[in-house]
């Protein structure tokens, strides 16, 4: 695709969105429209030094599209309400379902390819496994309103795609919903409680010399042995970019819903040990009770099945947990740098 390509990135001031903007700049793409709620001053540093055409406030974006009628070649819809402790579903429904439908419909009406962020939270407790087989999506049981909202949009998007021969439905020329697993890395400084365990571990080490991890409240799991598929943000944005590359070369990319993880489940103990190693220190861990408000909805195991995206053609080697954490700690957290 020509480097003059015009790309929209929603959620552009956030964690993954701002890293994607930086990667696009590094790859020669500067004609970017950045969409977000830019009122959060803590996120301003995420976009410092980035190249783009214009910032557009999230709530006026569709009016802006209608009045300005910009020519747009590609949309990354990364923006969402991601707080898993927000239990008012109407908040998630507005931003994660209704807003996403408007993005989809714009792409369909204007022949714009779309890559959007879904979430591994759609899998709930994992009783049905972690396969991105689309025939399973209607049966998934997310554990919180955030996961429900992400799954509701996935289901809606699939209905549009399956009904694409109907006169009443339209789809983008290509689309991909990406189920992000446990993403960590630079530019999450603003996320507070929702930042990665690595981020919190690093600061606990600096402040206290040890890291607090949740005790297990489930039989079969020892303290700190809860398992997650942790993926470095640099791999996430590389996968996002791969879809743009496919569109550039072929004017299409594989449409569907794809897992974005490493395919490997690692323990929180492993993660903390890797964080200490990035500081050249021995691990010191204390186990604390899990807060009551998340105890009943806590995932004890996640592991992305990655065959689908690999079969589609993404075969780049991913960072191991130790490699990713080491890069994050040494090159971003310790020097307090952004990506």
Using one digit for the tens of pLDDT, what is the confidence trace for 92-110?
888 899 999 999 999 999 9
Using one digit for the tens of pLDDT, what is the confidence trace for 123-152?
998 999 999 999 999 999 998 889 999 999
* 325: its two tokens: 């954490």
3 is catalytic: no
Q: Which domain does 78 fall in, by range?
A: 7-183+230-260
Together in a domain, 111 and 179: yes
270 is a domain residue: yes
CA distance 194 to 197: 9
Together in a domain, 139 and 178: yes
Together in a domain, 92 and 68: yes
Catalytic residue among 101, 155, 191, 215: 191
CA angle, residues 329, 333, 337, in degrees to nearest 5: 125
* 245: its two tokens: 């590359």
Mean pLDDT, residues 51-68 taken together = 97
215-229, 267-281, 290-304: range with lowest mean pLDDT: 290-304
Per-residue confidence at 193, pLDDT binned at 50, 70, 90?
A: confident
DSSP code at position 61: H
For residue 192, the domain's CATH number is: 3.90.25.10
310 is a domain residue: no
* 174: its two tokens: 């290509």
Together in a domain, 78 and 153: yes
CA distance 16 to 124: 22
Catalytic residue among 76, 99, 106, 146: 146
CA distance 321 to 204: 19
CA distance 324 to 106: 36
Q: Alpha-carbon Rg of the chain, whole angstroms?
A: 20
251 is catalytic: no
Residue 84 to residues 121, 285, 298, 316: CA-CA distances in angstroms? 9, 25, 10, 30
Together in a domain, 154 and 164: yes
Q: How many CB atoms lie within 10 A of CB 139?
A: 8
Together in a domain, 238 and 179: yes
Q: 227, 9 in Cβ contact below 8 A?
A: no
Together in a domain, 240 and 133: yes
For residue 95, the domain's CATH number is: 3.40.50.720
Using one digit for the tens of pLDDT, what is the confidence trace for 8-47?
999 999 999 999 999 999 999 999 999 999 998 989 999 9
């Amino acid at each position: 695709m020509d480097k003059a390509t015009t790309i929209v990135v929603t959620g552009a001031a956030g964690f993954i969105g701002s890293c994607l903007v930086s990667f696009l700049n590094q790859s020669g793409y500067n004609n970017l429209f950045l969409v977000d709620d830019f009122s959060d001053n803590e996120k301003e540093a995420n976009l410092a030094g980035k190249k783009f055409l214009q910032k557009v406030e999230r709530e006026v974006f569709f009016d802006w599209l209608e009045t300005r009628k910009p020519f747009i070649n590609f949309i990354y819809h990364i923006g969402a309400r991601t707080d898993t402790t927000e239990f008012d579903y109407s908040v998630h429904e507005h931003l994660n379902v209704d807003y996403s439908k408007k993005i989809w419909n714009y792409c369909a009406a204007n022949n714009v390819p779309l890559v959007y962020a879904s979430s591994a939270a759609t899998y709930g407790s994992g009783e049905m496994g972690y396969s991105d087989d689309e025939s399973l999506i209607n049966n998934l049981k997310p554990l919180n309103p955030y996961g429900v909202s992400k799954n509701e949009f996935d289901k809606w998007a699939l209905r549009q795609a399956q009904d694409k021969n109907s006169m009443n439905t339209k789809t983008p020329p290509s689309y991909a919903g990406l189920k992000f697993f446990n993403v960590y890395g630079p530019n999450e400084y603003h996320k507070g409680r929702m930042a990665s365990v690595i981020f919190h571990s690093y600061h606990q080490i600096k402040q206290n010399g040890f890291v607090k991890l949740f005790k297990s409240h489930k039989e079969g799991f020892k303290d700190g042995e809860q398992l997650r598929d942790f993926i470095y943000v640099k791999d996430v944005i590389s996968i996002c970019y791969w879809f743009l590359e496919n569109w550039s070369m072929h004017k299409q990319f594989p449409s569907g819903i794809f897992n974005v993880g490493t395919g490997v489940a690692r323990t929180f103990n492993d993660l903390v040990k890797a964080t200490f190693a990035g500081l050249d220190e021995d691990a010191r861990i204390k186990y604390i009770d899990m807060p009551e408000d998340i105890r009943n909805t806590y995932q004890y195991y996640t592991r992305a099945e990655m065959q689908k995206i690999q079969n589609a053609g993404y075969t780049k080697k991913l960072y191991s947990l130790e490699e990713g954490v080491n890069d994050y700690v040494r090159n971003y957290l310790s020097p307090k740098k952004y990506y």
